[in-house]
A and B are shown apart, each in its own frame.
Chain A
Amino acid sequence: MNIFRLAADVLHVVSIFLLLLKIKTSHSCAGISLKTQFLYMIVFSTRYLDLFFTKPWHSALTFYNTIMKILFLSSSAYTIYLIRNRYKHTYDKVHDTFRIHYLIAGSAVLALVFHIRLTPFEIIWAFSVFLEAVAIMPQLLLLQETGQVENITSHYIFCLGSYRALYICNWIWRYFMEHRRNQWLAWACGTVQTLLYADFFYYYILSQRQGKKLRLP
């Protein structure tokens, strides 16, 4: 565990907190993509299959990971519940039109071609990594469709993007300090994921400096 990894995970938790705070305080899930939340649910439930095989108390790190995994799984399930049930009438269904089955199918094909080992577990793990890289796309499309973005929603996406950017710092750290090699799959997907946010980051920082709401062209 290094400072980049810890900061990244904290930002990930903060982003989830911001998302739930936005929905709860405004009693509305306007501007939030159900499709992105659904993709994250798939990502977490395929990535964290090892919850069934790993003893949480094996080490401090596995305990920490287990807590985080359960938190990510349960919070994304809860978010989906809120959007689909309690605040259903505020969900912006008309603009949330990204065709996610292409993302899911594309990730599945990539996972069958690129994986660490040819085992079901490794292929499912690779699938989750590919899917996570593109899971934000429906959310970014929704923002572009609607233009004006609520502050708390833009903070949410900013935290989520920063989380993966800090993971890159963590990987560079581990490469030199722990001589950790052969992580090409996670590295490549994490970099693609971070690059997807580049455009958003630009407009976010611009809006923060001007003290205005984020407006996407």
Chain B
Amino acid sequence: ASGSGGKDEL
């Protein structure tokens, strides 16, 4: 998840 920029959040 690291570095993906928070795409699994809203």
Q: Measuring CB to CB, which residues of chain A are less than 8 angstroms from any residue of chain B?
A: 5, 9, 12, 50, 61-62, 65, 68-69, 72, 116, 122, 125, 167, 170, 178-183, 185-186
Contacts and interface: CB of A to CB of B under 8 A. Distances in A.
Contacts of A178: 1
Contacts, number: 34
Interface residues of B, number: 10
Contacts of B8: 61-62, 65
A170 B6 CA distance: 12
Chain B contact residues, majority secondary structure: loop
A178 B4 CA distance: 14
A72 B9 CA distance: 13
B9 A167 contact: yes
Contact of A125 (B1, B3, B5, B10): B5
A206 to B, nearest CB: 30
